[in-house]
């Protein structure tokens, strides 16, 4: 696989010169300064692309070209926004970029309740506590019917079976220990520190993120899973002619976490979901970002089986792995452990296409990463550690398969 790295543009504290030293071949990035819903112009794409190339790397994948909410909930200006999207696709292809990662998650991109959860080895990782998230929903967001929906929520244990956890009971216990400061920290983790840098609906300086959150949720009133699927199909069918014309590969990112939250439908969470959207628009340009991390956070998923089944429609890979606790909470595991078997996944993807772009995803925060102002989950040293591990896996698998492995940056 092509060794790529998610880089957040010239403002990223991690520079391209640093990435060059650690064997990165391709860059995964976006035009983070273009407001949601505006065309990405050829000029801007060209500028960033040339900057990346001046470091001897290429712009391999766009992550993300955001699909704005109106397309997801089928608002009155959806067709106009689809035209904007098509225009950006044409401009990207004209600059030689042919792989787009996007998601179809309503309102919220990936979500975690703790961004610096201590690991036994003294580093920290992202963490998702179901009761803390439910507390946010019930007591901070105060969503209508939130209590009822958590009462019905079936938590899965690591074996993929409901574990009988009583979330409401835990939320009520948790409430006794919460303070305004802890509430604020939860809002920061779920919204402020995580949604802005992925070009989501919220910005770090939003003064009233909760009000905005409620307004966005209201847009999805009456939109169930079936309807959201229809809206995704509508979007994909509308852009496919452009994708064919300019050979653009769309790869949807799985929902993270891969289960229903906040009463919002989630439609890329499991084998059945992935089969559905691939079959609904049976065109090779409609493909998948195989995010082993998001998929492994869902105890319903056997990640290796999913990779075997969907490798031929996968155009981009995210390598990371999650650990699901007996109570159903989850955290990031080592890139050599957890529920996603990255060694076996590497075998599967290397066999299908050794050129497939791959980035390591979410690394530990370690050895001072926490003081550098990196985006949550996107540390330098932690991700570099993971990248080293994954490069070792690829080199070993390539040897097994008789593929020549090259580590960039050396004389050999
Ligand atoms: C999280 C990322 C996601 C991903 C988007 C794609 O770390 O994997 O934010 O970039 O969902 O649109």
Beta partners for residue 156, in sequence order:
162
Nearest to 256 by CA among 396, 105, 386: 105
Mutate-to-test residue for ligand 1 from 256, 319, 332, highest number of ligand atoms within 8 A of CB:
256
Q: In this model, does residue 360 exceed pLDDT 90?
A: yes
Query: Do 251 and 214 have their domain in common?
Result: no
Q: Is the CB of 377 under 6 A from ligand 1?
A: yes
**Which residue range is the domain that position 201 belongs to?**
114-218
pTM tops 0.85, yes or no = yes
Q: Is the CB of 63 under 6 A from ligand 1?
A: yes
Q: In this model, does residue 199 exceed pLDDT 90?
A: no
Query: Do 84 and 228 have their domain in common?
Result: yes
The domain boundary residue, chosen from 159, 193, 218: 218
Query: Do 256 and 178 have their domain in common?
Result: no
Residue identifier of the C-alpha nearest atom 11 of ligand 1: 103
Query: Do 162 and 294 have their domain in common?
Result: no
Q: What is the pLDDT of residues 44-77, one digit of tens each?
A: 999 999 999 999 999 999 999 999 999 999 999 9
Q: How far apart are CA 392 and CA 317, in angstroms?
A: 17
The domain boundary residue, chosen from 218, 249, 264: 218
Q: How far apart are CA 128 and CA 261, in angstroms?
A: 12
46 is a catalytic site residue:
no
Residue 93 maps to a domain = yes
DSSP assignments along 227-291, one per residue:
HHHHHHHHHHHHHHHHHHHHT-EEEEEPPSSSS-BTTB---SSSHHHHHHHHHHS--TTEEEEEE
* Cα 110 to averaged position of ligand 1 atoms, centre (Å): 6
What's the pLDDT band for 403 if we cut at 50, 70, 90?
very high
Q: Is the CB of 102 under 6 A from ligand 1?
A: yes
Query: Do 228 and 368 have their domain in common?
Result: yes
* Cα 308 to averaged position of ligand 1 atoms, centre (Å): 22
* Cα 177 to averaged position of ligand 1 atoms, centre (Å): 32
Mean pLDDT of 157-168: 96
Placement of tokens 């600059």 in the chain: 95
* Cα 192 to averaged position of ligand 1 atoms, centre (Å): 15
Residue 82 maps to a domain = yes
Q: What is the pLDDT of residues 308-359, one digit of tens each?
A: 999 999 999 999 999 999 999 999 999 999 999 999 999 999 999 999 999 9
Q: What is the pLDDT of residues 1-28, one digit of tens each?
A: 999 999 999 999 999 999 999 999 999 9
Mutate-to-test residue for ligand 1 from 61, 101, 191, highest number of ligand atoms within 8 A of CB:
101
Query: Do 14 and 101 have their domain in common?
Result: yes
Nearest to 100 by CA among 39, 35, 29: 29
**Which CATH number belongs to the domain containing residue 310 in this structure?**
3.20.20.150
Query: Do 252 and 369 have their domain in common?
Result: yes
* Cα 103 to averaged position of ligand 1 atoms, centre (Å): 7
List the catalytic residue out of 285, 318, 323, 335: 318
The domain boundary residue, chosen from 191, 218, 245: 218
Residue 406 maps to a domain = no
246 is a catalytic site residue:
no
Residue 412 maps to a domain = no
Query: Do 236 and 268 have their domain in common?
Result: yes
Atom of ligand 1 nearest to the CA of 6: 10
Query: Do 87 and 125 have their domain in common?
Result: no
Instruction: Give the total number of structural domains in the chain.
Output: 2
Query: Do 308 and 383 have their domain in common?
Result: yes
List the catalytic residue out of 101, 243, 251, 291: 291
Q: How far apart are CA 98 and CA 357, in angstroms?
A: 11
Q: How far apart are CA 412 and CA 407, in angstroms?
A: 9
Whole-number pLDDT of residue 111: 96
Residue identifier of the C-alpha nearest atom 1 of ligand 1: 110
Query: Do 79 and 123 have their domain in common?
Result: no
Query: Do 176 and 139 have their domain in common?
Result: yes
List the catalytic residue out of 361, 369, 374, 398: 361
């Amino acid at each position: 696989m092509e060794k790529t790295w998610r880089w957040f543009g010239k403002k990223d504290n991690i520079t391209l010169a640093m990435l060059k030293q650690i064997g990165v071949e391709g860059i995964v990035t976006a035009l983070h300064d273009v407001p949601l819903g505006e065309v990405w112009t050829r000029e801007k794409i060209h500028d960033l692309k040339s900057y990346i190339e001046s470091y001897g790397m290429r712009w391999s994948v766009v992550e993300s070209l955001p699909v704005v909410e109106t397309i997801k909930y089928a608002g009155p200006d959806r067709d106009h926004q689809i035209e904007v999207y098509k225009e950006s696709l044409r401009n990207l292809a004209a600059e030689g970029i042919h792989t787009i990662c996007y998601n179809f998650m309503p309102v919220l991109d990936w979500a975690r309740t703790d961004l610096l959860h201590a690991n036994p080895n003294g580093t920290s990782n992202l963490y998702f506590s179901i009761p803390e998230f439910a507390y946010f929903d019930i007591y901070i967001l105060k969503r209508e019917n939130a209590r009822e929906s958590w009462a019905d929520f079936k938590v899965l244990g690591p074996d993929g079976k409901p574990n009988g956890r009583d979330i409401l009971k835990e939320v009520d216990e948790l409430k006794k220990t919460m303070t305004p400061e802890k509430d604020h920290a939860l809002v920061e983790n779920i919204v402020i520190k995580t949604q802005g840098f992925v070009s989501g609906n919220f910005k770090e300086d939003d003064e009233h993120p909760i009000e905005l959150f409620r307004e966005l949720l209201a847009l999805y009133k009456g939109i169930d899973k079936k309807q959201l699927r229809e809206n995704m199909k509508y979007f994909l069918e509308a852009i496919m002619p452009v994708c064919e014309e300019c050979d653009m590969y769309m790869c949807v990112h799985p929902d993270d976490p891969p289960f229903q939250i906040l009463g919002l439908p989630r439609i890329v969470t499991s084998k059945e979901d992935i089969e559905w959207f691939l079959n609904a628009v049976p065109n090779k340009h409609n493909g998948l970002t195989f995010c082993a991390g998001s998929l492994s956070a869902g105890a319903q998923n056997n990640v290796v089986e999913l990779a075997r089944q969907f490798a031929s429609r996968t155009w981009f890979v995210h390598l990371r792995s999650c650990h699901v606790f007996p109570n159903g909470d989850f955290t990031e595991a080592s890139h050599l452990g957890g529920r996603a078997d990255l060694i076996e996944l590497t075998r599967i993807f290397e066999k299908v296409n050794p050129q497939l772009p791959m980035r390591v995803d979410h690394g530990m925060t370690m050895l001072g990463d926490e003081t550098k102002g990196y985006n949550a989950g996107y540390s330098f040293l932690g991700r570099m550690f993971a990248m080293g591990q994954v490069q070792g896996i690829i080199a070993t698998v390539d040897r097994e398969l008789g593929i020549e492995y090259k580590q960039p940056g050396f004389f050999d």
